[in-house]
Amino acid sequence: MASLESDSPAYTMAVRQFEIAAKRLDLDRDVIARLRKPDRAYIVSVPTRLDDGTVHVFTGYRVQHNDILGPFKGGIRYHPDVNLGEVSALAMWMTWKCSLAGLPFGGAKGGVACDPTRLSRQELQAMTRRYTAEIRNIIGPEVDVPAPDMGTNEQVMVWILDTYSQHRGHVVPGVVTGKPVEMGGTVGRREATGRGVVYLVAEAAEHLKLDLSRCTATVQGFGNVGSVSAVELAKLGIKIIGVSDRTGGFYDPKGLPVDGLLQYVSQNPELAGCPYGEPISNAELLELPCDILVPAALGMQITGENAGRLKCRILAEGANGPTTLEADEILRQKQVFVIPDILANAGGVIVSYFEWVQDLQNLFWSETEVIRGLKRILTKAFHEVLDLSQKEKTDMRLAALMIGIRRVASAMHWRGLYP
Ligand code: NAD
């Protein structure tokens, strides 16, 4: 595990955040030692026949950080940079996120190091099915429940469901969340993360006494989380002045047409070539003057190098781990109001929890019920975090981590150490 820590900036960052919060909570030394490391980390080879007849062996991961509060839960990422350290960091953040939202889940994450944009549908399906077969003994509705993350979607979830079900001999809808509604998914899951981000932006604006109808926003990443965030921000009357994806960004100080952008990405694989606004780079996008910045792509985008040049008032972290520790310090001094990832993007796992409950009960909810539940849980968590940050005179990230970690540590004391 020592090499895992030193090999990955993301894991080093997650552990450091944990240590800062654990110190503030005055946690027991033995509890700290246990929570610094995942319960289990799996690395699997995923041999996949490509369309040209050759076989490529991809590397897949599933890291289960902690299941003291319930079955492991966490997304599966397909991206070239996926590695054991990054997946371990994401799994640890899932533990704190589920705990902060009060969900009966532990934290896990998985992924395959690949570029899904360069694989055909058949190759993606073959790789997904083999990856599922390799991890089938460690997932399941009562054990570990994957969901979509960057580079995966509802189709990938159905391939996982089908492969797992073929091995079990019967259909097991509760093995994954983020499924299409026809396959035991829940209404409102696809939109849940972006919607949640924007509910919390509204809460933050009320706290800061900002008039949202006069605000501007920029969004980095125009996939599931980024595009839904842009749509929901626009519904509140916020002007979206910049968006980007991995091919670059577009900027218009008068506002970009969100419907037009959505239509463009429905007909094209990426934003590249989009006819709206002026082209800008991802680095420029982050530094645009705006009221609200939503990073909704990769981790470690806001660093000690560029944080000083950010001009937003609210930073709503749709992505996981977009802000480094050095950047946090700078943002604190600049009084940027940060809605930290484990709070801001928790809408996804909250509605995944609703989906899992519905699958286990074979009883399905209306969209109104889903939205009401999502808002209730997120708003409560936001105010708990805000109250603690004011009481302890900390930033929102440290307060959110403290609440998430404290619940896990308390459960560990109840359960004790086996044997
Ligand atoms: P996605 O695959 O649907 O979209 C990712 C987007 O990011 C794409 O538009 C892609 O082009 C863009 N991107 C990739 N590399 C980039 C780069 N270097 N610069 C700028 N943009 C880049 O993924 P998603 O599900 O929207 O996830 C985005 C982030 O949100 C991830 O950090 C993920 O962990 C986090 N998240 C997702 C969910 C969920 O429910 N999907 C829940 C919680 C957190």
Contact yes or no for 392/369 (Cβ under 8 A): no
pLDDT in tens, 17-69: 999 999 999 999 999 999 999 999 999 999 999 999 999 999 999 999 999 99
User: Is ligand 1 within 6 A of the CB of residue 93?
Assistant: no
Q: What is the largest CA-CA distance in the chain?
A: 64
Question: Does residue 311 lie within any of the structural domains?
Answer: yes
CA 210 to chain centroid, in Å, comes to 26
Same domain assignment for residues 108 and 203: no
Same domain assignment for residues 145 and 215: no
pLDDT in tens, 349-377: 999 999 999 999 999 999 999 999 999 99
Quote the CA–CA distance of 345 and 294 in Å, as a whole number. 11
**Ligand 1: distance of its center to the CA of 191 in Å?**
13
Same domain assignment for residues 123 and 168: yes
Torsion, Cα of 113, 118, 122, 128 (10° steps): 20
pLDDT in tens, 327-341: 999 999 999 999 999
Same domain assignment for residues 290 and 326: yes
pLDDT interval class at 383 (50, 70, 90)? very high
Residue 6 has pLDDT above 90, yes or no: no
Same domain assignment for residues 136 and 225: no
Question: Does residue 169 lie within any of the structural domains?
Answer: yes
pLDDT in tens, 255-267: 999 999 999 999 9
Same domain assignment for residues 85 and 149: yes
pLDDT in tens, 257-299: 999 999 999 999 899 999 999 999 999 999 999 999 999 999 9
What does pLDDT average to over the chain? Answer: 97
Q: Which of 149, 306, 345 to mutate to test the pocket of ligand 1 (most atoms within 8 A of CB)?
A: 149
* CATH code, domain with 66: 3.40.50.10860
From the candidates 23, 37, 97, 109, give the one annotated as an active-site residue.
Answer: 109
pLDDT interval class at 4 (50, 70, 90)? low
Same domain assignment for residues 319 and 235: yes
Number of domains, the chain: 2
Beta bridge partners of 112: 60, 78
**Ligand 1: distance of its center to the CA of 46 in Å?**
23
Same domain assignment for residues 197 and 331: yes
pLDDT score for 372: 98
pLDDT score for 301: 98
User: Is ligand 1 within 6 A of the CB of residue 218?
Assistant: no
- What is the DSSP secondary-structure string of 251-283? E-TT---HHHHHHHHHHSSSSTT-SSSEEE-HH
Question: Does residue 23 lie within any of the structural domains?
Answer: no
User: Is ligand 1 within 6 A of the CB of residue 193?
Assistant: yes
Structure token pair of residue 342: 């484990």
Tokens 């599933």 belong to 62
Taking CA atoms only, the protein residue closest to ligand 1 atom 14 is: 246
pLDDT in tens, 193-206: 999 999 999 999 99
Taking CA atoms only, the protein residue closest to ligand 1 atom 16 is: 246
Atom of ligand 1 nearest to the CA of 348: 40
pLDDT score for 1: 47
Quote the CA–CA distance of 315 and 205 in Å, as a whole number. 11
User: Is ligand 1 within 6 A of the CB of residue 298?
Assistant: yes
Same domain assignment for residues 197 and 330: yes
Quote the CA–CA distance of 81 and 321 in Å, as a whole number. 14
User: Is ligand 1 within 6 A of the CB of residue 256?
Assistant: no
Question: Does residue 283 lie within any of the structural domains?
Answer: yes
Same domain assignment for residues 219 and 143: no
Which residue in 13, 93, 147, 143 sits closest to 408, CA to CA?
A: 93
Dihedral sign, Cα of residue 164, residue 167, residue 172, residue 173: positive
Quote the CA–CA distance of 374 and 188 in Å, as a whole number. 10
Question: Does residue 347 lie within any of the structural domains?
Answer: no
Quote the CA–CA distance of 197 and 296 in Å, as a whole number. 10
Torsion, Cα of 15, 21, 23, 27 (10° steps): -90
Residue 2 has pLDDT above 90, yes or no: no
Same domain assignment for residues 101 and 198: no
User: Is ligand 1 within 6 A of the CB of residue 282?
Assistant: yes
To the nearest whole percent, how much of the chain has pLDDT over 90? 97
Same domain assignment for residues 269 and 219: yes
pLDDT interval class at 7 (50, 70, 90)? confident
pLDDT in tens, 214-232: 999 999 999 999 999 999 9
Question: Does residue 154 lie within any of the structural domains?
Answer: yes
Mean pLDDT of 240-256: 97
Contact yes or no for 220/294 (Cβ under 8 A): yes
pLDDT in tens, 86-95: 999 999 999 9
Q: Residue 229 belongs to what domain range? A: 192-335
Q: Is 209 a catalytic residue?
A: no
pLDDT score for 5: 53
**Ligand 1: distance of its center to the CA of 150 in Å?**
5
Quote the CA–CA distance of 121 and 213 in Å, as a whole number. 42
